[in-house]
Structure 1
Amino acid sequence: MEYRRLGSSGLQVSQVCLGSMTWGKQNNQHDADEQINYALAKGVNFIDTAEMYAVPPSPETYGKTESIIGSWLHRHKEKRDEVIIATKIAGGGLSWVREGHPISGKSVTEAIDDSLTRLQTDYIDLYQLHWPNRISPHFGKHWPGMVQPTHEDTEQEIADMLDILESIGKAVDAGKIRYFGLSDDTPWGIQTYLRLAQANNLPKVVSIQNEFNLLHTKDWPYLIEQCIHEDIAYLPWSPLAGGALTGKYLNGARPEGTRWSLVQRQGLFRDTQLSNKAIAAYVDVAKAHNMTPAQLALAWCNQVDGVTSTIIGATTMGQLKEDLQAFSLPLDETLLNDIFSVYQQYPMPF
């Protein structure tokens, strides 16, 4: 297992981050315990969660994942300092989370305290904004024209961001959180938080996690370049495109108990004709090089310049073991060329 510095923070995180969003819906406490224990034994020291989880999000599953992690932490107090816990405050739009209101300084303070209670810990290593208050080109809204920045009130957005950052600063001063990160944001969001932090002596953004995989590379190289030069960790989420890159959903298949067999809040926007052609081609490349499609996708993500730690998720121990093996697999020039030939044909398939 390799370890990399989390942006400008003092934290060294494993190249693999254990995602947890299925815990509380597709996985129970026993499953989560087994996954955490196995991942830690393999050198993983980074766990990502969110107050919104489990997914698909619902009033019944809200906060369950943090509570499951909290139960593990309560029973393994001696390991707390060995594990880097990242969680997130939900943005606006979920009626059962603060009545759907956008993030504010006040809600940040409340949400941090609630997460600390559920996690049964005194501090959170990395606290992230799950998505910005303004509409951003994420969750399938990345095609030109889908987001209208001119419809936003720039001055108000900046004022709200400063309000949020001031509350983050108070939480850092109080020892409740150690570092601050973003999720599902853009270069403008990163740069604005950096400028506000410098001008007001407030915490600097140390990381951002965005969707990034062989089917979805809009951050490459532009946002990732900014992360490198500003010393911000880039954390890909959904490196398997919601499981699609495993090939298990090809030809309309919906295996029982899988994510795509459940109701999706945003719909199956990754399931397009071009996506399926790209996935089938990547499956063929993986077979030709004696690896699984999931391992191909994860190993590729890991070797992208600027990627700090890739967030993986598994519903079975078999999947977790397969995924972790991917990060020790070398990608030679022939394999990378084969991958790139497919990528050139399908650079933006959904």
Structure 2
Amino acid sequence: MNLISLGQSDLKVTPICLGTMTFGEQVSQQTSHAILDRSLERGVNFVDTAEMYAVPTRKETAGATETIIGNWFESHPGVRNRVVLASKVAGPTRATPWIREGTGMTAADIIASCEGSLKRLKTDVIDLYQIHWPERHVPAFGLTYYEPRKETTTTPILEQLLALAQLVKAGKVRYIGLSNETPYGVHEFVKFAEQLGLPRVVSVQNPYSLLNRTWENAMDESCHRLGVSLLAYSPLGYGLLSGKYDQSGTTGPDAPAEARLTMFESMRKQRWGRKESWETGKLYNQLARDNGLTPTQMALAFCYTKWQVASTILGVTTVAQLDEDIDIWGTQLSPEVLKEIDAIRKQHRDPAQ
């Protein structure tokens, strides 16, 4: 894997990123450290986390993932300099009142969150600091439409950007990014950065998979023209594109007991738990098998080879899963398979958007 630059920055990352939201909930610290070790051994230099992790989010485990990563840095002298570390500040009003209550996300909120993350991560600087979701009301996390009547924003984008700029100036953050964003949000952050000489966002972390290609509806052109990179999360659709739920669904007698959609009812109530997501996932999985591929191979190869994707974020619970996912790097999908993929999307669109 060749290193790539994120956006218009000199931040060099691998096109595979290790996602860590399972650390501290499904995955113990010991196994988390083994996964981190193996990831680095396999050449992956990019690690993504967030202040609200582990997931599903709970007051008892908020910050646990960052603490586990910080303990790994502490127990492995010198390893911090080999890793590009990304974390995220939680937005408001999304089932995380122990982090931030109500509406708004002030400059003070952002700075305090960063300070907390630095302490837990046991580092002096975060290489890529992202806003986890917009302070605005946006169509994300299963919402399809923007509804002005539901708008509750109280913190201007400029105020948020100025706070991030303060962190960059202080040397606590190298570069900034967004997550779960829309074209409007990206354009506003870039506009203010260019007008006022403030830090420019280098990336957006949004869902992208066979079950959710909404990035291609407008975000791809916006970010391509603005020079902002996509970090694709949930490339396996919370496991729906691995084939493991095909027979019994998420709650049937043969459902994988330790898989997240089986374990956590709260996740089954989200976009990944929709009947249409499961049914469409099975169509893609069968297409893979019909063409001599595993479902995981086809789903990840799709993300790995799309021009829109700078780096694909992998969420795993074992070292074996990590190895399987990295081994798929280099797999090419035939024009015929890509045509069939597009045919399924044309009929079923984006069920997990």
TM-score range, shorter chain: over 0.9
**What's the CA shift for 1:61?**
0.5
**What's the CA shift for 1:228?**
1.1
Once the two structures are superposed, what CA deviation does each residue of 1:88-113 show, in whole Å capped at 9, x if it has no partner? 00111211113355321001111111
Percent sequence identity is 38
Question: What SS does the aligned partner of 2:43 have?
Answer: coil
Who is 1:95 aligned against?
97
Who is 2:314 aligned against?
312
Matching of residue 282 in structure 1 with residue 284 in structure 2: yes
The answer to whether the 8 Å contact 1:20/1:49 transfers is: yes
Who is 1:47 aligned against?
47
Who is 1:256 aligned against?
257
Matching of residue 344 in structure 1 with residue 346 in structure 2: yes
**What's the CA shift for 1:270?**
2.5
Once the two structures are superposed, what CA deviation does each residue of 1:148-196 show, in whole Å capped at 9, x if it has no partner? 135537xx76x62111111111111110000000001100000111111
**For the aligned residues, what is the CA RMSD?**
1.7
Who is 1:107 aligned against?
109
After TM superposition, the structure 1 = structure 2 runs for residues 197-208 of structure 1, keeping only pairs within 5 Å, are 197-208=193-204
Matching of residue 6 in structure 1 with residue 6 in structure 2: yes
**What's the CA shift for 1:72?**
0.7
Question: What SS does the aligned partner of 1:8 have?
Answer: coil
Question: What SS does the aligned partner of 1:309 have?
Answer: strand
The answer to whether the 8 Å contact 1:139/1:266 transfers is: no
Distance of aligned partners of 1:98 and 1:349 in 2 relative to their CA distance in 1, 3 Å threshold? closer
Stretch of structure 1 that moved more, 110-119 or 313-322: 313-322
Aligned partner (choices 142, 159, 165) of residue 161 of structure 2: 165
Who is 2:332 aligned against?
330
The answer to whether the 8 Å contact 2:133/2:178 transfers is: yes
Question: What SS does the aligned partner of 2:313 have?
Answer: strand
Who is 2:178 aligned against?
182
Q: Which amino acid aligns with 1:249?
A: Y
Who is 2:70 aligned against?
70
The answer to whether the 8 Å contact 2:205/2:232 transfers is: yes
Aligned partner (choices 206, 212, 232) of residue 210 of structure 1: 206
Matching of residue 245 in structure 1 with residue 247 in structure 2: no
Question: What SS does the aligned partner of 1:18 have?
Answer: strand
- Counterparts of 2:338 and 2:228, CA distance in 1: 26
- Counterparts of 2:330 and 2:34, CA distance in 1: 21
Question: What SS does the aligned partner of 1:220 have?
Answer: helix
Aligned partner (choices 127, 130, 133) of residue 132 of structure 2: 130
Once the two structures are superposed, what CA deviation does each residue of 1:71-94 show, in whole Å capped at 9, x if it has no partner? 111122312221000000011121
Who is 1:224 aligned against?
220
**What's the CA shift for 1:334?**
2.5
Who is 2:84 aligned against?
84
Structure 1: state its 5+ residue gaps: none
- Counterparts of 1:202 and 1:266, CA distance in 2: 40
The answer to whether the 8 Å contact 2:91/2:100 transfers is: no
The answer to whether the 8 Å contact 2:272/2:278 transfers is: no
Who is 1:196 aligned against?
192
Question: What SS does the aligned partner of 2:65 have?
Answer: helix
**What's the CA shift for 1:221?**
4.4
**What's the CA shift for 1:265?**
5.8
- Counterparts of 2:160 and 2:110, CA distance in 1: 7
The answer to whether the 8 Å contact 1:33/1:72 transfers is: yes
- Counterparts of 1:77 and 1:100, CA distance in 2: 40
Question: What SS does the aligned partner of 2:237 have?
Answer: coil
Question: What SS does the aligned partner of 1:195 have?
Answer: helix
- Counterparts of 1:347 and 1:207, CA distance in 2: 25
**What's the CA shift for 1:51?**
0.3
**What's the CA shift for 1:69?**
0.4
**What's the CA shift for 1:306?**
2.0
Aligned partner (choices 296, 299, 304) of residue 298 of structure 2: 296
The answer to whether the 8 Å contact 2:17/2:45 transfers is: yes
The answer to whether the 8 Å contact 2:141/2:270 transfers is: no
Once the two structures are superposed, what CA deviation does each residue of 1:297-331 show, in whole Å capped at 9, x if it has no partner? 11101212221001110112221111112222122
**What's the CA shift for 1:335?**
2.4
Distance of aligned partners of 1:28 and 1:219 in 2 relative to their CA distance in 1, 3 Å threshold? same
- Counterparts of 1:246 and 1:4, CA distance in 2: 27
The answer to whether the 8 Å contact 1:225/1:306 transfers is: no
The answer to whether the 8 Å contact 2:260/2:267 transfers is: no
- Counterparts of 2:241 and 2:64, CA distance in 1: 27
Matching of residue 149 in structure 1 with residue 148 in structure 2: yes
Structure 2: state its 5+ residue gaps: none
Question: What SS does the aligned partner of 1:88 have?
Answer: strand
How many residue pairs end up in the alignment?
A: 344
TM-score (norm 1): 0.93
Stretch of structure 1 that moved more, 85-94 or 218-227: 218-227
Distance of aligned partners of 1:219 and 1:149 in 2 relative to their CA distance in 1, 3 Å threshold? farther
